[in-house]
């Protein structure tokens, strides 16, 4: 019994430490924007037909003086809890558009949106502002959303998607296949692009189920007139399969990891 209680206490202490770390990060996040600690890295999207870079996805990084580089999976959820993601998201949009305006005209930029940004009415304004202050052609901006934005057929969010589309930007469904009703969501909004999640790539070329799903999505994109992209391509075997299945575009370490803004221009030029 006494060891049981001891175990409980250790658990309690661990929980407490975790909560404290969480709190600490929350506080550090509050100042990160003002202190210019965020940066965007860019990962190329490659057209399988031309083998050229057709776009780059902006991926958020937090360079904290104490902890070094922090991945978005560690801090985006915390920024979402506090709605800080709204201000950070605004910065991301402005920064990504400003950067992309320097790239060749056939190269677009993809920006990830958090579902929390949809709760705030200023999302459409933030996108419009980013476009007008950068001068970027709206057709060169792609907004990536995940299925959670459409959860419960959220009417408000669907309206926001239409408003965003009216600005002339493209809307992509990210991480396709990981939600519980991926196919259903394709009926709620006419997406310009589907991005298949890397979970379906990992066990290619041998995973029969993954192959069947990847094949079905390629066909779906074709019949719905959507661009099909697949992320997480790391090997030549995986590349050969998605090429054979007729995907339009790929993204993955096989071509490039996400790189700092200063490096992406030469990467794009190198692919011309």
249: contact with Mg ion by CB under 5 A: no
Residues with Cβ within 8 Å of 103's Cβ and at least 6 positions away in sequence, in order, are 56, 109, 264, 265, 268
Instruction: Give min distance, CB of 174 to Mg ion, in A.
Output: 4
Decide if residue 157 touches ligand C2E (CB under 6 A): no
Given the complex with ligand C2E, which of 108 and 114 has the nearer CB atom? 114
Q: Structure tokens of 213?
A: 């799903």
The yes or no reply on residue 174 touching Mg ion (CB under 5 A) is: yes
> Of the two residues 12 and 237, which places its CB atom closer to ligand C2E in the complex?
237
Site string for ligand C2E, 192-231 (x = CB under 6 A): ------x--------------------------------x
- Give the C-alpha separation, 218 to 161, whole Å: 24
Pair 133, 100: CB distance under 8 Å: no
Nearer to Mg ion, 95 or 144 (CB): 144
| Cβ-defined contacts of 30-33 (< 8 Å, 24+) | 30/82, 30/84, 32/62, 32/64, 33/84, 33/87, 33/88, 33/91
Rule CB under 5 A: say whether 147 interacts with Mg ion: no
Instruction: Considering only residues 69 through 88, tell me which ones interact with ligand C2E, judged by CB under 6 A.
Output: 71-73, 76
Judge whether 45 and 250 are in contact, CB under 8 Å.
Answer: yes
Which of 48, 4, 24, 12 lies closest to 248, judged by CA? 48
234 binds, among ligand C2E, Mg ion, none (CB under 5 to 8 A by kind): ligand C2E
Residues 96 to 155 in contact with ligand C2E, rule: CB under 6 A? 112-114, 144
Pick 28 or 264: Cβ nearer Mg ion:
264
Binding mask 19-58 for ligand C2E (x = CB under 6 A): ------------------------x--------------x
Tokens of 48: 């399988």
- DSSP SS3 for 163: helix
Q: CB 59 → Mg ion: shortest distance, Å?
A: 8
Q: Is 112 in the site for Mg ion (CB under 5 A)?
A: yes
Nearest to 149 by CA among 107, 105, 113, 200: 113
The Cα–Cα gap between 218 and 247 comes to 6
Residues near ligand C2E, by CB under 6 A = 43, 58-60, 71-73, 76, 92, 112-114, 144, 174-175, 198, 231-234, 251-253, 258
């Amino acid at each position: 019994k006494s060891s049981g209680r001891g175990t409980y206490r250790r658990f309690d202490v661990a929980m407490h430490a975790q909560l404290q770390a969480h709190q600490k990060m929350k506080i550090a996040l509050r100042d990160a924007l003002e202190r210019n600690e965020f940066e965007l890295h860019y990962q190329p999207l490659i057209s399988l037909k031309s083998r050229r870079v057709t776009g780059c996805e902006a991926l958020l990084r937090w360079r904290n003086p104490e902890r070094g580089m922090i991945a978005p999976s560690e801090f985006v959820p915390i920024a979402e809890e506090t709605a800080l993601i709204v201000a950070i998201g605004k910065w991301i949009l402005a920064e990504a558009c400003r950067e992309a305006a320097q790239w060749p005209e056939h190269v677009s930029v993809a920006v990830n949106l958090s579902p929390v940004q949809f709760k705030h009415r200023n999302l459409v304004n933030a996108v419009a502002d980013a476009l007008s202050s950068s001068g970027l052609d709206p057709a060169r901006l792609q907004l990536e959303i995940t299925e959670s934005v459409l959860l419960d057929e959220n009417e408000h969010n669907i309206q926001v998607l239409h408003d965003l589309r009216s600005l002339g930007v493209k809307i992509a469904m990210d991480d396709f296949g990981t939600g519980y009703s991926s196919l259903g969501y394709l009926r709620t909004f006419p997406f310009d692009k589907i991005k298949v999640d890397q979970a379906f790539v990992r066990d290619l070329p041998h995973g029969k189920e993954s192959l069947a799903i990847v094949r079905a999505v390629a066909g779906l994109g074709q019949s719905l007139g959507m661009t099909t992209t697949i992320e997480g391509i790391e090997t030549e075997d995986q590349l050969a399969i998605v090429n054979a299945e007729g995907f339009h575009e790929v993204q993955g370490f096989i071509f490039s990891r996400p790189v700092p803004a200063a490096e992406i221009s030469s990467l794009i030029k190198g692919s011309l």
